[in-house]
Amino acid sequence: MQARTNSKVWFITGAARGIGFSLARQVLVNGDAVAVTSRTLGSLHQAFGQDNARLLALEVDLGSEASVQAAIDKSIATFGRIDRVVNNAGYGQQGTVEALTDAELRRNFDVNVFAPLHVLRHALPHLRKQRSGHIFNVASIVGFQGGYAGWSSYAATKFAVAGLTESLAAEVAGLGIKATVVYPGPVRTEFLAQGTLAVAQRSIADYTEAQASLDLHLNGLHGQQAGDPEKVAALILQASRVAEPPIHLFAGKIANALAEQKMETVRKDLDAWRSASDATDFTD
């Protein structure tokens, strides 16, 4: 089934729920085609029903490059092209730097950073051949303003996604391809639900701020997040339709406020240390 010439083909990871689900549903309403991925085919069929001419459900192990490649290849074989790539899958890992194990850290990076890289490596050859396409990498506001005790691993993965997107945007600019990093604030999804948020096996009592943050997120924030996943999805759709999309796309009032706070803090540090910083150059 080749996509209609005037429609777009999307490839969205983590589409069984949350922002990915909302975006895929809106894409279909918009008349576009979409390949959606999840760890289980059953979760996708429960969310969307059975495959149809504009929907391809794919069970993908994002940690396996072979699985990702097979999904990209099947999407191309089914629709003939891919126009929009959305790296949305990921999960939160709570725990202090001292408490987190190597295995916990590496798994978080495998899913949140290396899995999107698998997708990009196998999607980009097609986008490059087309000389068109738009990549959306979904980060988090903690990938821009990371000052939250107990969220070091998650923040680090999302900073990595942001840096990756900035560099990628420069690499593909001459190829007709766009890249955008999305920074949602707290969004009312299952991100903080028990069984979804990963909590470090070990905790250290001295890190009281980290424990307070965890308690707040689990007991006070879950189900009360300000962000609407449907509206975040609509924002991504809006950005996909403009000729000059942003590289940095913040979603929500909280995200905007925290971004402003971060920029003010950086400006303050930059100004305070300008003379000492300038003095580190060779004087010639």
Residues designated catalytic:
154
Q: How far, in Å, CA of 110 to CA of 185, rounded?
A: 23
Helix and strand numbers (H, E) in the chain are: 10, 9
Are 143 and 166 in contact, with CB atoms under 8 Å apart?
Answer: no
Are 88 and 64 in contact, with CB atoms under 8 Å apart?
Answer: no
Instruction: Look up residue 17 and give its DSSP letter.
Output: S
Q: How far, in Å, CA of 89 to CA of 180, rounded?
A: 16
Q: How far, in Å, CA of 94 to CA of 138, rounded?
A: 19
Give the chain's end-to-end CA distance (angstroms, integer).
65
Q: CA nearest 73: which of 11, 137, 116?
A: 11
The helix (H) or strand (E) run that includes residue 18 is helix 18-29
Are 255 and 265 in contact, with CB atoms under 8 Å apart?
Answer: no
Which tokens sit at 22? 């909302």
Name the β-bridge partners of 83: none
